Every structure is written in C-alpha cells, then in structure tokens.
Structure 1
Amino acid sequence: MPFVNEYVSDEDAEKYDLDNLWNKYNYTAMIKMPELLDHFDVHQHDWCVDKERGYWLFNCGFLLNEDSLSGFVEPSNEEAFILHVNGQNIEFILTSHGMEATDLYPIHFSYELVSMSPSSLPNMSRESLLNILKDGINIFKYNGIRALEENAKTLIAFDF
C-alpha cells in the first residue's frame, strides 16, 4: 500500500510524540501543541503514512530565520519534515521556491534539500531514503489531508 494522507490517531500521536516534534521545529506558531489542535477543523495531527511498510512523513512546518534583513526573527523558507523509517526518525530540512503555474496545476513548486540527519540507516542508503521522502511528499503535496482541493491543483518537483 502506498502513502496516503490521514489524520493521526490519538494513540499514534502519543506513541510517536508528535506534539513535541511539532513544537521542536515549528517556531512560527504562537500557540503550541496540543492546544493548537483546538484551532484546526479536525482536532488531530495529520501525516502521510504507508502502513504496509510502517513509514510515515510528518510536516513540522517552517523554521525561523534569525538572520533576516529586518533584524527581527522571521519565518524562513526552510521547512522541517520527519520521515519515520524502520523505527527511526530522519530529519529533513527542505526549502522550496515557486515555479511557473499552469491551468492544470496553479500551485507548482520545487523542493531543495538543505539537510538530512541521519544521512543513511544501517540497511538503507541515502538515495533510498530520499526516494521514500519524494514518494511521501508527492502524496502530501500542498498540505496533506487538510488541503485536498489545493493538493489536486499542486505539482511538485525536486531539485535533489
């Protein structure tokens, strides 16, 4: 079974400590998890999951830029994703930029890899992990299950 966008069960959110993962990376939110869930239409975390292989991809949001032109800390264009493979979390920091929109895909952007930690697993190469990440992001698209209409209009490219 390939990746699918889903809401996370309360049990899985607790098991994988998703509140703390979100809070660790998403500094742009004024309200932290789990209180932030009360502000969503569906009061659960969301992820992109491949249950057959036991993989999941969790978007932790945008990081802060401490070296902004304004001199103030501002959201950056770097986004944190956690890919869970073979019982281990791999942290990916990606940046994106918009690309030319089309009638069919008005939302078109490309991701570039900024960092990856760890860069491989004992039985899985860097290239394999990057391919799994791409598979997950191609399903997650714009914003996972919370943005199905936008996802249908989204085309993603990878520069890695």
Structure 2
Amino acid sequence: MPFVNEYVSDEDALKYDLDNLWNKYDYSSNMLKMPEALTSYEVHQHAWCVDEERGYWLFNCGHLINEESRSGYPEPSNKEAFILHVNGQNIEFILTSHGLEDNDVYPIHFYYELVSMAPTCLPNLSRDSLLTILKEALNIFKYDGIRDLEENAKTLIEFDF
C-alpha cells in the first residue's frame, strides 16, 4: 500500500511521541504547545502521511524559527522540519520551499530544496533510497496533508535534490 494522508490515532501519537516532535521544531510552539495546540485544528488529532504496509510515516513538524529576522524578533523561517520514520528510526529532514510559476492546472506550484538530513543513511538504506522515500511521501502530503485535500489537488511539487 502506498503513502496516504491520515489523522494519527491517539495510540500512535503517544507511541511515536508526536507532541514532543512538533514542540521541538514548530515556531508557534512558543505560544501554544502540543497537545493544547491541537484544539486550533478542525480535527483535534495529529496528521501524517503513512505507508502502513512498510511501517513508514512522514510527519511535518512545521516551520523553524528565524532568530535573526529583520524585525529583531524571532519569526518563522522558510525552513520546515519533517520527520521520516523508516525501519524504526526517525530521520530529520530540514527543507526549504520556493514558489514556482503557477498555471491553470496547478495554482500551487513549488519545489523543495534539501537543507539537511540526519542521519544521512541507515544500515540497510542509502541516502538516495531515503530521499526517494521522502519524495514519495511528499508527493502525497503535498500542501498540507489530510488537513487540506482541496489545496493538495491543486498542488504540484518538484524537488531540487
């Protein structure tokens, strides 16, 4: 079964400690931390992109903070943190997105650039294999996973890695 966008069960959210993953990266967590922040969503659960057959999942932890902003105050950056869970291990990806020219078919068009990944490989998976899995998941996650399926349908993603 390929990747699909889903809401995370309460059991899986606890098992994989998704509250703390989100709190570690998301810029808004300075204001409202998980699990309380889930109340701001229409569906009060975490969301992810999951391949249940292989036991893989992708979790968007949100935008990182830019401490050196023009305003002098911490602001969200254009860097997003994603956690890809493969073979029982979390791989941290920091990606930057850049807008591209939109068209009639895809009014949302952007590409992701890889800023960093850690670790860069697993004992039985190369860096290239991990990047291929990441691309598979991001092509399903699109704009905002299950939280915005309408926008996802209008989104074209490309990769610079």
TM > 0.5 fold call: yes
Tell me the CA shift for residue 63 of structure 1. Answer: 0.2
**2:28 aligned partner, one-letter code:** T
Instruction: List per-residue Cα deviations over 1:109-148 (Å, max 9, x = no partner).
Output: 0000000000000000000000000000000000000000
Aligned counterparts, 1:141-160, within 5 A: 141-160=142-161
Match of 1:115 in 2: 116
Instruction: Decide whether the 8 Å contact of 1:28 with 1:63 is kept in 2.
Output: no
Which segments of 5 or more consecutive residues in structure 1 lack a partner in the other structure?
none
Alpha-carbon distance in 2 for matches of 1:109, 1:3: 20
Q: CA RMSD in A?
A: 0.7
Alpha-carbon distance in 2 for matches of 1:69, 1:146: 31
**1:77 alignment partner, SS class:** strand
Match of 1:138 in 2: 139
Tell me the CA shift for residue 28 of structure 1. Answer: 2.4
How many residues get paired? 160
Q: Does 1:38 align with 2:39?
A: yes
Tell me the CA shift for residue 69 of structure 1. Answer: 2.1
Which segments of 5 or more consecutive residues in structure 2 lack a partner in the other structure?
none
Alpha-carbon distance in 2 for matches of 1:108, 1:91: 24
Instruction: Decide whether the 8 Å contact of 1:48 with 1:56 is kept in 2.
Output: yes
Tell me the CA shift for residue 72 of structure 1. Answer: 1.7
Moved >6 Å (runs of 4+): none
Instruction: Decide whether the 8 Å contact of 2:55 with 2:86 is kept in 1.
Output: yes
Instruction: Decide whether the 8 Å contact of 1:57 with 1:82 is kept in 2.
Output: yes
